[in-house]
Amino acid sequence: MAPPGADARLLDVEGLIARYPVPRGLLGAVMRRPQLTVKAVDGVSFSVAAGEMVALVGESGCGKTTTAQTVIRMVEHQGGSIRFDGTEIGSLNPRELRPLRREIQIIYQDPYESLDPRFTVRDTIEEPIRVHSLVARSEDREAKVHEAMERAGLTPPELFIDRYPHELSGGQRQRVAIAAALVLEPKLLIADEPVSMLDVSVRAGILALLDGLRRDGMGVLMITHDLSTAAHFADRIAVMYLGRIVEEGPAREVVRNPQHPYTKALISVVPRRDPDQRTVPQILIGETPNPVNVPPGCRFHPRCPAAEGRCKETDPELREVVGLDPLHRAACLLL
């Protein structure tokens, strides 16, 4: 959970819904095929406090990246509320959103694509300062760029500042992307699979950097498919399946005592060093999730090893589990 003294609810998302139509194509339109809809985010609620790292965990296609993009209004939502630092931002127009865009920054999984190959490190980190008209004098801009680079671990800055992306390693490129976010001094950083494209040898350094930012008081929303990373670094974990959070709670609680069959399956395939903690890997069978055709009842029932007849009819709510930490909640009819 958030460390003592952390502000409550920097980001507060309630009942978020994001859907988009599947293109029918010319033939589909001529044939008048029904319009299908991707239910990418289907009633998601979570919060992030200042000084807290929350991990949204799940397989590809579960809606975690769309959730993050909806929070920053890159993707429009059709329902629910997004409160940031006490302000409802879900209904703001682009002009009203502009100052808030400084305060919520996102870094992407692919530092090879997120940097412009024509820009030096200085250009890349200076760009957001110019876009937001933050500092007029070039000496002050340079000082801000140096400060952000040092915070992102690109030290000494002189060594990197005039380099182009192709002259940097993958880890250094991700640090440049982080520095370009930090130069705006955001309150919330969204990290979308921040290490999945990096060599294993540099992942720990980037994760330690994010951990340090969290300790300095920044809220961090980490999107990841890697439960072991989430367990190690996050304060809280929210497990997503087909557009919904199916289990959430303090990271240690969720990992040590998973309640939802989906979380149990994810945890069963995480490699463990301690032989006493090893479990039999539980490979999920059945169709892979399809957010166009969400199954009725519990959306996990076609793949759930514990499913019963009622699971096909009743959609379980996320709720407290008797005898557990009240912040540990799961959506399963058997609990």
**By the criterion CB under 6 A, which residues form the site for ligand SF4?**
260-261, 298, 300-301, 304, 306-308, 311, 316, 332-334
Closest contact distance (angstroms) between CB of 312 and ligand SF4 is 8
Closest to ligand SF4 by CB, 156 or 305: 305
CA angle 183, 184, 188 (to 5 degrees): 115
Distance CA 263, CA 278 (A): 15
Distance CA 235, CA 210 (A): 12
Closest to ligand SF4 by CB, 63 or 316: 316
Closest contact distance (angstroms) between CB of 288 and ligand SF4 is 16
**Long-range contact set of residues 125-129: C-beta below 8 Å, sequence gap at least 24:** 125/149, 125/176, 125/179, 125/180, 125/183, 126/183, 127/180, 128/102, 128/180, 128/181, 128/183, 128/184, 129/183, 129/184
- 136 alpha-carbon distance from chain centroid: 34
Distance CA 236, CA 6 (A): 14
Closest to ligand SF4 by CB, 104 or 239: 239
Instruction: For tokens 């590809």, name the residue.
Output: 60
Closest contact distance (angstroms) between CB of 277 and ligand SF4 is 23
Distance CA 149, CA 161 (A): 9
Tell me which DSSP letter residue 298 carries: S
Closest contact distance (angstroms) between CB of 306 and ligand SF4 is 4
Report the SS3 class of residue 116: coil
320, two tokens: 């407290």
Closest to ligand SF4 by CB, 146 or 301: 301
Closest to ligand SF4 by CB, 64 or 301: 301
Closest to ligand SF4 by CB, 189 or 304: 304
| Pairing state between β 219-224 and 53-57 | parallel
Closest contact distance (angstroms) between CB of 242 and ligand SF4 is 11
What is the maximum span of the chain, computed from C-alpha positions, in angstroms?
69
Q: Give the contacts of 321 (CB within 8 A, at least 6 positions apart).
A: 259, 328, 329, 330, 335
Closest to ligand SF4 by CB, 111 or 258: 258
Closest to ligand SF4 by CB, 281 or 296: 296
Closest contact distance (angstroms) between CB of 309 and ligand SF4 is 9
Closest contact distance (angstroms) between CB of 319 and ligand SF4 is 12
Closest contact distance (angstroms) between CB of 316 and ligand SF4 is 5
Distance CA 189, CA 104 (A): 6
